[in-house]
Amino acid sequence: MTRRLRQPAFGVVLIFSLIRVMKSTVTKLLLVVGCLSAHSQSQTVCPEAPHCNDPQHSSIDGSCNNRHNPRWGTANRPYARLVPANYADGISEPAHATSGAPLPSARSLSLTLFGETEMQHPWNTLVSMQFGQFVAHDMSFTADADGIQCCADGKMVPKEVASARCLPIVVPSDDPVMSDEGIECMNLVRTKTTLEDPCQEFGGPAAQQLSSVTAFLDLSVVYGNTVEQSDSLRLHSGGQMQVEERHGKVWPPRHPNGTTTCDLEDDSEACYLTGDVRSNQSPHLTLLHLAFLLEHNRLARELEALNPSWDDGRLFQEARRINIAQYQAIVYYEWLPIYLGAANMRAARVLPDLKQADYATDYDSGVDPTVSNAFATAAFRFFHNLIAGHLDLVAESAQPTGSIRLSDWLNKPSVLEVADNYGSLSRGMISQPHDRPNFHLTPEVKHFLFRQGRSVGVDLKAIDIQRARDHGLATYNEYREHCGLPKVTRWEDFEDLLRPVSSRLLPEQYDSVDDVELAVAGPLERHYGDGMPGETFSCLLLDQFRRTRVGDRFYFENEAVFSRRQLYELRKATMARVLCDNTRGLSEIQRQAFFLVRDDNPVVSCAQLPVVNLIQWRSVATN
């Protein structure tokens, strides 16, 4: 049955229009004054354009990867816009409905359209979901303002004293979980944009959000995003990264500001310093950070044994190059096909055509690898639906011994240093399935995320929706049009696109099909081809991972990056091998770590897994 849209009276529309014009005029004046003031401050010293001398390896900050556009893909740059920003005032104010009315509450949309039943995936392990978060952090990090309170102790900070950066999420008075605890809102601070950074070139009046990490798959989560940050993480001896040893195990160094970075009871608890502050968010994410950190040090030791004459700088750079190359091989050939689908990837040319050559031949200096706002703020967050609410503990005998609640240990990595949790959680990560890719989220992230000992926390799905509004993402229909897909013109059109329950509920939330948001409808789509996401999200994900590879001059399969014999070795890299080599107490694992154990994926001794032989990096080796 077709739902009749509620049409506001002409007078109401006129009032909304006048209000928008007045707000837009005032906002523009304030922004002009603010920008002029920022640019006039003599203490502001903007970085100079990169001086490129044709480096032989990728830079820490991503600069000079592209010879013609040396800032493409660098840290602290705006996200790319595939579709013009959707702001109510054309500058920065979050969008309204087409009628001029406010959009539905992000929390209400989360409660109404997204379930919370946990259902295990039949084939994939939890490490595969966690690797997705690791990759997401490597490519994108919104530049937020820490410490701003828009919602204090569940109560809205009065507008007259709240920061202009505030965009809190309103919690309905009849919220089934949060209202009983007196929670009226959730804190959300707007991302820093080009309007606030005097060093950014303005590409127009609309605000463009900044990402504080490089856009490349370059393990910036391990090495950092500036030379200064990277230098602070290095040992400056033998090419090694800094680590600490406690209780017979090796850990990342302690964070100097642990009490503000992590949720600590006291200074004795662990909080780790890595290339990315988010490494402490969950125990499994910390384990992956540790694995690739220790892999670097393992590679540096082997290279030093093969090449005693190499100094610290060369050992560091070569170990880093190999670590990144193995990581890229795992991303494109082992992990992405699981989620985006191998056939989908081939059709979108995400993978290179290697039939006629040993090397990828499609590097294109005209392709900008900058991460798109839609990818970072909506499409890649599809994987939030795969999070498991409890993390299994598994003994060396492969028998489960219990589990821990995810919300108890967010930003509390010290759990890894308790008893045998390091080994038990590592084994659990490769034997526990993640959740099914559907419209459900575990209650642990829907109601209890970052609760820090309180009875309730925040809602990850509501945050995703509100963050997309903050970033001015265009509507679902506008992104479908960008992708060459048919636009939705009637509510009935959603029945073929979305899961049945969702398509029936959507008209109850929005007045018009043109109001439906990408961050809402995208995760609700039926899967596309042989991948997990739907066709709109698949379009955005495939586009990004193609540009990330084709626009990276140092992608490991490109000619002149590695020799043919080195490339042959690097293609042996697997997630199972990385975990085996860098997880104390892990002596066996299934061959494909991203899949559960089954007849065609048996558990084997770590010694039986393929090894990347570094003999091809010996200086006297003939390549």
The neighbouring-strand residues paired with 115 are: 440
Known catalytic residues are 137
The residues pairing with 604 across neighbouring beta strands, listed in sequence order, are 589
Residues 491 and 513: beta-carbon distance below 8 Å:
yes
Q: In 3-state terms, what secondary structure has residue 604?
A: strand
Contact in structure between 35 and 187 (CB atoms under 8 Å): no
Q: How is 533-581 classified by DSSP, letter by letter?
A: S-HHHHHHHHHHHHHHHHT-TT-TTBTTTS-HHHHHHHTT--HHHHHHH
Residue 32: exposed, middle, or buried by beta-carbon count in 10 A (0-12, 13-18, 19+)? exposed
Hey, how many other C-beta atoms are within 10 angstroms of the C-beta on 108? Answer: 18
> What angle in degrees, to the nearest 10, is found between the helix axes of 283-306 and 126-139?
70
- Residue 384, marked binder: yes
E strands, 385-445, where?
390-394, 400-405, 433-435
Number of residues that make up the chain? 623
Longest dimension (CA), the chain: 82
Contacts of 249 (CB under 8 A, 6+ apart): 417, 422, 584
> 196 to each of 45, 74, 165, how far by Cα in Å?
14, 18, 11
CA 572 from chain centre, in angstroms, equals 26
| DSSP labels, 217-282 | SS-HHHH-SSHHHHHHHB-SSTTPBP-EEETTEEEPPBPTTHHHHS--SSTTS--B--SSGGGGSS
Q: Tokens standing for 86?
A: 């959707």
CA angle 93, 525, 330 (to 5 degrees): 95
Q: Are 189 and 259 in contact (CB under 8 A)?
A: no
Residue pointed to by tokens 């001398």: 53
49 in Cβ contact with 71 (< 8 Å) = yes
Do 98 and 511 touch, CB atoms closer than 8 A? Answer: yes
Q: How many helices (H) and strands (E) does the chain have?
A: 21, 14
CB atoms within 10 A of CB 565: 15
Contacts of 121 (CB under 8 A, 6+ apart): 386, 433, 434, 435, 436, 437
* Other CB atoms within 10 Å distance of the CB of residue 156: 16
Q: What are phi and psi of 142, to 5 degrees?
A: -65, 140
Under 8 Å between Cβ of 579 and 291: yes
- Bind-site residues: 384
* Annotated binding-site positions for heme b: 384
